[in-house]
């Protein structure tokens, strides 16, 4: 069995299952009559816009995606902006998007295309808050190890467009939001910080997140606050939100590939969270415990985090860090391979999806002058796997249903 080939095929199936060109036509329906405005943000949003125009023809609108993720559209304008740290291009595009929504009437229709990455790309700082303060705070949160739900809660309370405020801007027009989920649990309020969904938690909860991770925001952040839209607000009464692609379906597609290759499959969960290296070690131990029962594939999804060590200068991401920690835990054990990649093709801030590893990975890294334990300590997992020939580079996948992890356990050779 080609272990690495099978793992890469499973990852490819997981990504393909979440391709907007595949999933969006199933739910889109016929084009409404009257004026239709398409807006959106996220790593998959340009592909979603492309799928909309394939079905409805040219449309009016504006969608914001990550640099390198644009797609050709005939009417919808595609703007590229910064991710994971917001930039001026995102701020300007968001203001133009809000301008498209101002003045719409009850007879008009808004289609919102939202996916992971939208929290950074859809950027309208709250009154009194500048872009520089938002950039600094976003960087601190991303390095803190905070869960994505916690990060997005803070983002909502420092934004004039998140936490239901996009839907409020479109009111009284009818709004339908189609979401591709990249968050554990697939909560629409957490995907891209819920621009079309109300938020019940107040500013005090956001302040508690900052305190929990020892982040002392500048005075401008403390003074800001746009006021999220509470659930039940009348301005949300004409908005409907639907998740159309999620990690669970992608894991199911990968499982089909594994079973077709003769493997049993155990899905550990599609919403796993935690420190990437600790989750990697735990899943490696689970694979070791199942030797002798193979061929078996352990699948999981969710979103791991990396708490940056002060002074560490490496380049990595949660998926490659998971893979490196798992490889170290396995210590070259025969018969076990693994892959860990982000389905958007970007692990952390690097243009690398993640990594694949097997019994020879540590030895290959050492032969290339790499110390795997040191690389893990320095958060330099991408550097290690580049040297060990285990980096997975896909380029833009045009979708995003978060982390994909698979461990393949083969019977020991007799």
- Domain boundary at 245, 271, 294, which? 245
Q: Read off φ and ψ for residue 176, nearest 5 degrees.
A: -125, 125
- What integer pLDDT is reported at residue 316 of this predicted model? 92
Q: Measure the CA–CA gap between 141 and 162, rounded to whole angstroms.
A: 17
Whether residue 26 is found in the same domain as residue 173: yes
Q: Measure the CA–CA gap between 136 and 149, rounded to whole angstroms.
A: 19
State which residues form the domain around 306.
3-13+248-409
CATH of the domain at 389: 3.40.1480.10
Stretch 320-339: mean pLDDT, rounded?
Answer: 97
Stretch 269-280: mean pLDDT, rounded?
Answer: 96
Q: Read off φ and ψ for residue 195, nearest 5 degrees.
A: -65, -20
How does residue 220 score in pLDDT terms, banded at 50, 70 and 90? Answer: low
What pLDDT digit, counting tens, does each position of 39-80 carry?
999 999 999 999 999 999 999 999 999 999 999 999 999 999
Q: Measure the CA–CA gap between 186 and 271, rounded to whole angstroms.
A: 8
Stretch 17-24: mean pLDDT, rounded?
Answer: 97
- What integer pLDDT is reported at residue 71 of this predicted model? 97
DSSP secondary structure letters along 5-61: HHHHHHHHHHHHHT-HHHHHHHHH-SPPSS-EEEEEESTTHHHHHHHHHHHH-S-EE
- What integer pLDDT is reported at residue 25 of this predicted model? 95
Does the pLDDT value for residue 203 go beyond 90? no
Whether residue 30 is found in the same domain as residue 175: yes
CATH of the domain at 52: 3.40.50.10180
- Domain boundary at 192, 224, 245, which? 245
- What integer pLDDT is reported at residue 20 of this predicted model? 98
Whether residue 252 is found in the same domain as residue 224: no
Residue 414 within any structural domain of the chain = no
Bond from prior residue into 142 cis (ω within 30 degrees of 0):
no
Stretch 258-271: mean pLDDT, rounded?
Answer: 97
Q: Of 168, 206, 180, 211, whose CA–CA distance to 117 is shortest?
A: 180
Does the pLDDT value for residue 414 go beyond 80? no
Whether residue 226 is found in the same domain as residue 144: yes
- What integer pLDDT is reported at residue 218 of this predicted model? 63
What pLDDT digit, counting tens, does each position of 399-411 carry?
999 999 999 999 8
- What integer pLDDT is reported at residue 231 of this predicted model? 94
What's the predicted TM-score (pTM) here?
A: 0.93
- What integer pLDDT is reported at residue 148 of this predicted model? 87
Q: Read off φ and ψ for residue 98, nearest 5 degrees.
A: -65, -35
Stretch 165-194: mean pLDDT, rounded?
Answer: 96
Whether residue 195 is found in the same domain as residue 274: no
- What integer pLDDT is reported at residue 202 of this predicted model? 86
Whether residue 152 is found in the same domain as residue 85: yes
Element (H, E) at 239: strand 239-245
Whether residue 227 is found in the same domain as residue 280: no
What pLDDT digit, counting tens, does each position of 338-394 carry?
999 999 999 987 899 999 999 999 999 999 999 999 999 999 999 999 999 999 999
Burial class of residue 102, CB neighbours in 10 A (0-12, 13-18, 19+): exposed
What pLDDT digit, counting tens, does each position of 145-162 carry?
898 889 999 999 889 999
Whether residue 8 is found in the same domain as residue 71: no
Q: Measure the CA–CA gap between 134 and 139, rounded to whole angstroms.
A: 9
Bond from prior residue into 12 cis (ω within 30 degrees of 0):
no
Beta strands 36-41; 109-115: pairing state: parallel
- Mean pLDDT over the full length of the chain: 94
Strand partners, 406: 299, 339
Does the pLDDT value for residue 224 go beyond 70? no
- Domain boundary at 210, 245, 280, which? 245
Domains of the chain: total: 2
Whether residue 329 is found in the same domain as residue 219: no
Whether residue 186 is found in the same domain as residue 309: no
Residue 119 within any structural domain of the chain = yes
166 Cβ contact partners less than 8 Å away, ≥ 6 residues apart: 39, 98, 101, 112, 122, 195, 196
């Amino acid at each position: 069995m080609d272990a690495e080939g099978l793992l890469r095929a499973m990852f490819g199936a997981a990504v393909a299952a979440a391709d907007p060109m595949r999933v969006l036509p199933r739910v889109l329906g016929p084009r409404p009559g009257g004026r239709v405005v398409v807006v959106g943000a996220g790593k998959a949003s340009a592909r979603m816009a492309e799928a909309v125009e394939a079905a409805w023809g040219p449309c009016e609108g504006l969608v914001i995606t990550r640099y390198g993720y644009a797609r050709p559209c005939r009417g919808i304008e595609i703007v590229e902006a910064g991710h994971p740290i917001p930039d001026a291009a995102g701020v300007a595009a968001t203001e133009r998007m809000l301008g498209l929504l101002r003045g719409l009437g009850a007879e008009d229709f808004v289609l919102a295309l939202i996916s992971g990455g939208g929290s950074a790309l859809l950027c309208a700082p709250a009154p009194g808050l500048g872009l520089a303060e938002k950039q600094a705070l976003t960087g601190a949160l991303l390095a803190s190890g905070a869960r994505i739900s916690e990060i997005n809660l803070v983002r909502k309370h420092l934004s004039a467009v998140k936490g239901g405020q996009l839907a409020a801007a479109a009111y009284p027009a009818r709004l339908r939001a189609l979401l591709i989920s990249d968050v554990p649990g697939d909560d629409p309020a957490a995907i891209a910080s819920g621009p079309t969904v109300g938020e019940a938690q107040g500013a005090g909860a956001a302040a508690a997140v900052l305190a929990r991770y020892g982040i002392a925001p500048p005075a401008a952040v403390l003074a800001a606050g746009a006021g999220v839209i509470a659930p039940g607000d009348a301005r949300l009464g004409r908005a409907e939100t639907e998740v159309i692609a999620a990690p669970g379906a992608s894991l199911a597609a990968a499982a089909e590939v594994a079973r077709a290759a003769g493997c049993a499959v155990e899905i550990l969960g599609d919403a796993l969270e935690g420190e990437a290296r600790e989750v990697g070690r735990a899943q490696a131990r689970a694979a070791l415990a199942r030797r002798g029962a193979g061929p078996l594939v352990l699948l999981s999804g969710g979103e791991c985090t990396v708490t940056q060590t002060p002074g560490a200068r490496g380049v990595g991401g949660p998926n490659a860090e998971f893979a490196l920690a798992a490889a170290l835990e396995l210590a070259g054990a025969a018969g076990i391979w693994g892959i860990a990649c982000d389905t958007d093709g970007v692990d952390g801030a690097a243009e690398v999806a993640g990594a694949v590893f097997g019994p020879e990975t540590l030895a290959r890294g050492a032969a290339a002058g790499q110390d795997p334990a040191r690389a893990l300590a320095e958060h330099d997992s991408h550097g290690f796997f580049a040297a060990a020939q285990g980096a997975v580079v896909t380029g833009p996948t045009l979708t995003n249903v978060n982390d994909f992890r698979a461990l393949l356990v083969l019977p020991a050779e007799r």
